[in-house]
Copies of this chain bind each other. A is one copy, B any other.
């Protein structure tokens, strides 16, 4: 009899789900709306219902489902308990127990950035590696750390929260977290825009950046065209991020950094600027660490969630 796995990525707007076979191939991918009202009380029952409906539709016996992996936007401890997921309306919730009771199928749960890292290791930019740090340069800067093929959770689920490593002790503006000079202030999508606008204001150089709406892709496209101001900004971006990754390497000694999120749409050129400063700052034992772009995009979560329960 064939065996199956499910990966579930719970976001603030939609829940993404994936059904996998025993070869680890995705058979079907679908979404439902995340109902965050009433402290998100309906979310897990809705997830259970759509999974059970899918099993009926596919004529899959519940006994043939090995497990369901779930990622959520919050700190999840090693027992599958989340401690506050603001975007879902949740306080403390035992996801593993609640959902496994609803489904009568084994469940594992973890933080969404961590499962995305696991997904990239399994089927994405980190394929072939067992020790990686995934860096998501999105609205904020998130991270997920995989050690010997397993998620590094930390004592209260906050391992890999690398967006708030301080990289500039001279910064005068505060990060959303309240501290000044966090990596997120320079390397997130909003951080790149902020950094670019600052340079456009302070510098009189002509630049094609003055004529367009700024994104990381626009910035790095300008770099490719030889725009001098864009190069200055890209260097500063690379310096902060490269230095931060050098510190992280000194702590966990990974094989590869996998860079994803909206900013990574700028492409391979991004890695050039990061690696330049990384190599200048890093301890020699980590000088040969690889760099790769993430490739699964928004599907990294469902892949990683399934991988958590994949035997």
Residues in chain A within 8 A of chain B (CB atoms): 75, 78, 130-131, 145, 147-148, 152-162, 164-166, 169, 177-179, 243, 246-248, 250-255, 280-281, 283-286
Cα distance A3–B44 in the bound complex, in angstroms = 49
Please give the count of copies of this chain that the complex contains: 2
Q: From the candidates B145, B155, B162, name the one contacting A254 in the complex (CB within 8 A).
A: B155
Cα distance A247–B131 in the bound complex, in angstroms = 19
Cα distance A286–B166 in the bound complex, in angstroms = 14
Cα distance A251–B160 in the bound complex, in angstroms = 5
A179: B residues at CB distance < 8 A: 280-281, 283
A147: B residues at CB distance < 8 A: 147, 152
Q: From the candidates B75, B155, B285, name the one contacting A156 in the complex (CB within 8 A).
A: B285
Q: From the candidates B153, B166, B177, B253, name the one contacting A157 in the complex (CB within 8 A).
A: B253
The answer to whether A251 and B253 have CB atoms under 8 Å apart is no
Cα distance A252–B156 in the bound complex, in angstroms = 10
The answer to whether B158 and A253 have CB atoms under 8 Å apart is yes
What is the distance, in angstroms, from A236's C-beta to the closest C-beta of chain B? 12
Q: Which residue, A155, A157, A280, has most C-beta atoms of chain B within 10 A?
A: A155
The answer to whether B177 and A283 have CB atoms under 8 Å apart is yes
**Secondary structure of the A contact surface, majority rule:** loop
Cα distance A255–B156 in the bound complex, in angstroms = 8
18 more CB-based (< 8 A) A-B contacts, given A131-B155, A165-B251, A248-B251: A145-B252, A147-B147, A154-B254, A155-B254, A155-B255, A157-B285, A158-B285, A158-B286, A159-B253, A160-B251, A161-B283, A165-B246, A166-B243, A166-B246, A177-B283, A177-B284, A247-B247, A251-B252
What is the distance, in angstroms, from A308's C-beta to the closest C-beta of chain B? 16
The answer to whether B164 and A250 have CB atoms under 8 Å apart is yes
Instruction: Give 30 pairs: A residue, B residue, CB < 8 Å, sorted on A.
Output: A78-B148, A145-B251, A147-B152, A152-B252, A154-B252, A154-B253, A155-B253, A156-B253, A157-B285, A158-B253, A158-B286, A160-B251, A160-B253, A161-B283, A161-B285, A162-B251, A164-B283, A165-B246, A165-B247, A165-B250, A166-B243, A166-B246, A166-B247, A166-B281, A169-B243, A178-B284, A179-B280, A179-B283, A247-B247, A247-B251
> Closest chain B residue to A175 by CB distance?
B283
> Closest chain B residue to A251 by CB distance?
B251
4 cross-chain pairs, A with B, having the tightest CB-CB distances, nearest first:
A154-B253, A158-B285, A164-B283, A159-B253
Cα distance A247–B152 in the bound complex, in angstroms = 16
A165: B residues at CB distance < 8 A: 246-247, 250-251
Cα distance A161–B249 in the bound complex, in angstroms = 9
